[in-house]
Amino acid sequence: MSQEHLKPVRSKEEARELGRKGGLASVKARRKKRSMQEAAKIFLEMAADGSLKSNLETLGVAKQDQTYMMAMIARAFTLAMSGDLKAMEFLRDTAGYGPKVVQKIEHSGKVEKVEKDETTNGLAETEEGRELLRKLFELKSKKGMD
């Protein structure tokens, strides 16, 4: 929504009330998102049945691991083995073997390379993360840890 479509606030009380309503809506949206995540986890962690279960048994998957999530991974695996490049990339990336993304962060006139992996947890993707990494590099430089 652009600035021209916004209605001006007429009083502090109205601004406070609109802010309160916005906050309540934000909480409701976060709860809904969280409950959707929980629902997805419940379904993915359910025990597979029928032909999915027998397919997982054929692939040698242990009984306690025969879930719908495992069935999805198994399907991606069979597609990958038949030459599907997207399935290959999906499996590689899901397993954590994907290529590392290198980003350059400049601080104090120096350029540092930051790889997006478990150590930075994707910090270089946001301005706040980049600022935090700059501060960490500065601390590292001050302590002579270059």
- pLDDT at position 133: 66
By mean pLDDT, which of 2-11, 39-48, 106-115 is the weakest? 106-115
Model pTM above 0.85: no
Looking at this protein, which amino acid is placed at residue 114? V
Give the Cβ contact number of residue 138 at 10 Å.
13
Tell whether 133 is covered by a domain: yes
> Which residue, among 99, 100, 80, has the nearest Cα to 91 in the 3D structure?
80
Same domain, 107 and 133: yes
Domain span at residue 19 reads 11-40
% of the chain surpassing 70 pLDDT: 64
Domain membership of residue 6 (yes or no) is: no
Same domain, 52 and 90: yes
pLDDT of residue 56: 94
d(CA 110, CA 25): 43
Residue 68, in any domain of the structure: yes
Nearest to 66 by CA among 47, 43, 85: 47
Q: What is the pLDDT of residues 95-114, one digit of tens each?
A: 888 776 655 666 566 666 65
Highest mean pLDDT among 38-42, 113-117, 141-145: 38-42
When the pLDDT of each residue in the chain is averaged and rounded to a whole number, the result is: 78
80 part of a folded domain: yes
Number of structural domains the chain divides into: 3
DSSP letters of 4-60? GGSPPP-SHHHHHHHHHHHHHHHHHHHHHHHHHHHHHHHHHHSBP-HHHHHHHHHTT
Give residue 118's pLDDT.
45
Instruction: Determine the pLDDT at residue 143.
Output: 59
Q: Is residue 61 part of a domain?
A: yes
In a domain, 4, yes or no: no
Give the pLDDT score at 34.
76
